[in-house]
Amino acid sequence: MAVTSRILAARGRRQARELGIDPARIPPGQYLTKGFPVLTVGPNPPYDLSRWDLRVFGEVERELRLSWEELMAFPQRDVVADIHCVTRWSKLDTAWRGVLVRDVLQAAGVKPSGKYVMAYSDGGYTTNLPLEAVLGDDVLLAHSYDGKPLEPDHGAPLRLLVPKRYFWKSAKFLRKLEVMGEDRMGFWELNGYHNDADPWREERHWF
């Protein structure tokens, strides 16, 4: 594993230099891709925006159940970010549009006891994050990518965008956010992936 990481790290840095990009933007063990690989657990779930909603519950003052129109009424934010997958590809300068997770959580009123967030997707996928990890200016409930609505393969109609973590934390097909007082592991975390998922520390697995 260490040898593979060193080989790919050198590949990523070499790619960056050839493209005139600062190699320091490439986390350890990553290589650059021009495409957008699709990695999804299970089939893409169908959705109907007229019946779709996003639920926010748990350690909050006001549980929310936002329709698509209500979510779109929140201020919209454009984010350009580098993204990094645990399977070792990185994609730079990706362009997203959506609603800050922070704004929705503020509307729900996070209690002092709220310390963690669990994201729930259609189809049963889950992933967990510390509350502070979702409060940044680059963390979105993203509905658009590269100027167009999200494609089904990339999580339509809504996904999390958490650029500072490996991309499995950016849950596709998002339907619920639970604010929790104590941490619980999500799908991949229970199956061997690192709980924190910092690409700069190469936190790929817990073992």
In a domain, 207, yes or no: no
**By the 8 A CB rule, do 141 and 104 touch?**
yes
- Please enumerate in sequence order all residues whose Cβ is within 8 A of that of 50, keeping only pairs 6 or more positions apart, or say none: 68
**E-assigned strand segments in the chain:** 31-32, 53-58, 64-67, 77-84, 89-100, 116-121, 126-130, 140-145, 148-149, 159-161, 174-180
173 and 72 co-located in one domain: yes
Answer yes or no: do 147 and 99 share one domain: yes
Task: Indicate whether 206 belongs to any domain.
Answer: no
C-beta separation of 116 from 182 below 8 A: yes
The answer on 56 and 13 residing in a single domain is no
- Give yes or no: residues 119 and 153 share one domain: yes
- Are 141 and 47 found together in one domain? yes
Residues 116 and 172 in one domain: yes
pLDDT tens track of the chain, all 207 residues? 555 555 655 777 777 777 777 888 899 999 999 888 887 766 889 999 999 999 999 999 999 999 999 999 999 999 999 999 999 999 999 999 999 999 999 999 999 999 999 999 998 999 999 999 999 999 999 999 999 999 999 999 999 999 999 999 999 999 999 999 999 999 999 999 999 999 999 999 986
Phi (first) and psi of residue 106, to 5 degrees: -65, -40
Q: Reply yes or no: is the peptide bond before residue 157 cis, omega within 30 of 0.
A: yes
**Entry pTM:** 0.90
3-state helix vs strand vs coil in the chain, percent to 5: 25, 30, 45
Domain count, the chain: 2
Q: Tell me the β-bridge partners of 96.
A: 79, 145
158 CB contacts (<8 Å, ≥6 apart)? Answer: 54, 71, 98, 141, 142, 143, 150, 173, 174
The CATH number covering residue 131 comes to: 3.90.420.10
Return the pLDDT at 162.
Answer: 98
Q: What is the pLDDT of residue 10?
A: 74
Do residues 44 and 28 both lie within one domain?
no
Its domain, for residue 52, covers 37-201
